[in-house]
């Protein structure tokens, strides 16, 4: 698959990073969705080359519970051995296997944790990789495979994202904003980053794909219209503009969500979202991202405290 915005096959592998910088990371993130079960799954590997360790987070959630202990599956492992390669690795002691079948295009992820869960899926690109800056790839594709969970065998066949980054990310720092997308087809989709502590957050990067033409977002906003009893997003709205002058307006209902804390100073509500835009309905995600300190200071947390 042809690279775009500078992405190359070498970006599937470890990058030359400053070994004196303690907080350098290489991340690998994949997700899968099973809409008929109102279910979402995440696989997230965070490598710390300067430390010689990596961390692995895997969770599967539906609308039955969002706290780690009430999700369908939740596991967060730290201080694992650093893989020798990110193209192909086998973390056998914790049940994860990963293989690049075709650079920038096809990947296979397998995981097993005793009788509780197992999955085996292939992610295949529908669009070329899109770089945001010199050290971050976003790309969406089709995921096919199977999930074994709670004694059931469930087919996986969906559109979903992968995310890849290599940069400095300190566990003593963090960010507040959002990472949001909706995927209707290989010709119609959007992804937008956003920043800010208010319920209306300014768009900060991303793209609109319409009629097969992908253009960078240059303006707009993401709005949280309603939150639930624990502060979780319930309804969202987007108003976006790309560099070709095209606009996109979308509304979304958060069907299910899981709490995630996949970095030392980042907390997120990861929601499975049913989107409506351009006369289409489709699935996607919204990650409502906070530092713990910013969440504690927010009105969402304050209203949860006893009087």
Task: Give the start-to-end residue ranges of the domains of the chain.
Answer: 23-169, 173-307
- Provide DSSP, the chain: ----TT--GGGGS-----TT-TTEEEEEEEEEEEGGGTEEEEEEEEEETTTTEEEEEEEEE-TT--SGGGSSEEEEEEEEEPPS-SSEEEEGGGTEEEEEEETTTEEEEEEEETTTEEEEEEEEESS--EESSTTEEEEEEEEEEEEEETTEEEEEEEEEEEEEEEEE--TT----EEEEEEEEETTEEEEEEEE-SSSEEEEEEEEEEETTEEEEEEEEEEEEEEE-TTS-EEEEEEEEEETTS-EEEEEEEEEEEEEEEEETTEEEEEEEEEEEETTEEEEEEEEEEE-HHHHHHSHHHHTTS--
To the question of domain 173-307 being in CATH 2.40.370, the answer is yes
Fold agreement (23-169, 173-307): yes
What does each of the 307 residues of the chain score in pLDDT, given as a tens digit? 434 457 999 999 999 988 899 999 999 999 999 999 999 999 999 999 999 999 999 999 999 999 999 999 999 999 999 999 999 999 989 999 999 999 999 999 999 999 999 999 999 999 999 998 899 999 999 999 999 999 999 999 999 999 999 999 999 988 899 999 999 999 999 999 999 999 999 999 999 999 999 999 999 999 999 999 999 999 999 999 999 999 999 999 999 999 998 788 999 999 999 999 999 999 999 999 999 999 999 888 766 666 5
23-169 to CATH, choices 3.40.50.40, 3.10.440.10, 2.40.370.10, 3.30.70.1400: 2.40.370.10
């Amino acid at each position: 698959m042809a690279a775009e915005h500078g992405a190359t096959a070498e970006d599937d592998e470890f990058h030359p990073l400053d070994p004196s910088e303690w907080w350098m990371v290489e991340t690998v993130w994949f997700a899968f969705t099973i809409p008929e079960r109102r279910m979402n799954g995440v696989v997230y590997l965070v490598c710390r080359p300067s430390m010689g360790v990596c961390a692995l987070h895997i969770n599967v959630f539906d609308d039955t519970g969002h706290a780690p202990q009430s999700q369908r599956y939740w596991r967060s492992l730290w201080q694992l051995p650093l893989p020798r390669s990110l193209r192909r690795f086998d973390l056998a002691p914790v049940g994860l296997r990963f293989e690049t079948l075709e650079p920038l295009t096809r990947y296979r992820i397998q995981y097993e944790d005793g009788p509780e869960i197992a999955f085996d899926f292939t992610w295949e690109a529908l669009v070329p990789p899109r770089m945001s800056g010199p050290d971050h790839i976003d790309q969406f594709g089709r995921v096919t495979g199977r999930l074994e969970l709670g004694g059931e065998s469930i087919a996986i066949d969906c559109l979903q994202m992968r995310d890849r980054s290599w940069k400095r990310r300190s566990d003593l720092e963090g960010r507040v904003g959002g990472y949001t997308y909706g995927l209707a087809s290989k010709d119609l989709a959007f992804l937008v980053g956003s920043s800010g502590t208010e319920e209306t957050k300014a768009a900060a990067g991303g793209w609109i794909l319409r009629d097969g033409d992908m253009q960078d977002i240059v303006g707009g906003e993401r709005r949280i219209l309603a939150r639930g009893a624990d502060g979780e997003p319930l309804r969202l709205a987007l108003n976006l503009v790309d560099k070709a002058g095209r606009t996109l307006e979308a509304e979304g209902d958060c069907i299910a969500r899981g709490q995630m804390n996949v970095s030392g100073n980042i907390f997120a509500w990861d929601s499975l979202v049913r989107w409506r835009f351009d006369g289409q309905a489709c699935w996607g995600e919204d990650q409502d991202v906070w530092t713990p300190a910013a969440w504690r200071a927010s009105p969402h947390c304050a209203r949860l405290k006893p009087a």
